[in-house]
Amino acid sequence: MEKEQENSQLQKQLMEKEQENSQLQKQLGEKEQENSQLQKQMEETTGYLAELSQSNSCIPKPVFDWIDKAAESNSYIPKPVFDWIDKAAVDVTLDPDTAHPRLILSEDGKQLRDGGTPQDFPDISERFTLHTCVLGRQKISSGRFFYEVQVGEKTEWYIGVAKQSINRHDSVKTSTTNGYWVVWLRKGQYWAGVDPSVPFPLKEKPRTVGVYVDYERGQVSFYNVEAGSHIYSFTEYNFTENLYPFFSPGYKNSRNSAPLIILYANSTNFK
């Protein structure tokens, strides 16, 4: 009797293992099919980009579809896509007339940090007077625009673009409603400036952030340059006035004294 019960139990366990194996085989088949589809999409994307390698014309919609799908999970973006994005690179410099008095800018207009105490700057309407922010000199009024910012190990920073008519003197949210398309790091959490602001997770901490703008498409996207991955995108906005690169190094403390550094975008920076 005991032997029969033992055999029955073993048969039951064997059937459970066979069912489990069957489920694993099914999942493996689904993953293989998904990988095959992704490989096909990548090949199509690479083909489109090869045709565009000597052109600045609009990128085909199928390529945008591929990027949008990859962006849903902060996943890897193929280097050919980054190469095409890099063709929109602009040499960005800081506009000292917009800098908050606490900000210290380098002579070449490529670095900014919070000095801790206000400097004696001219009181002009273009200048930020409440928050430690500054704009870039280069306006964005059409076409595509790309630049990179080295954030390193800073514990707080704000990067993106802002429209020309933003309020530079009162306390307002850094949100799309108020003319900002910005992401930031604060207290260990990444945020996107929609209204209300939303937190989002990242698999890898970015050290260099790429900012890409497509004015006609109404898109502002952010990329982790070293990892070659997407961070966040604002899409389908209707831009109607000039946009400018936007920066804030966050407030100075013992862990956040390093500067933000604007880099000239170069596709060789991408992984």
Q: pLDDT digits over 37-81, tens only?
A: 666 666 655 565 555 544 444 555 555 555 555 555 556 777 777
- Distance between CA atoms of 245 and 163, rounded to whole angstroms? 9
Class of 88-269 in CATH? mainly beta
The residues spanned by each domain of the chain are 1-74, 88-269
Please tell me the predicted confidence (pLDDT) of residue 250: 93
Sites in the chain below the pLDDT cut of 70: 1-4, 7, 34-75, 265-271
Please tell me the predicted confidence (pLDDT) of residue 47: 60
Q: Is 267 exposed, middle or buried (0-12, 13-18, 19+ CB in 10 A)?
A: middle
Please tell me the predicted confidence (pLDDT) of residue 59: 54
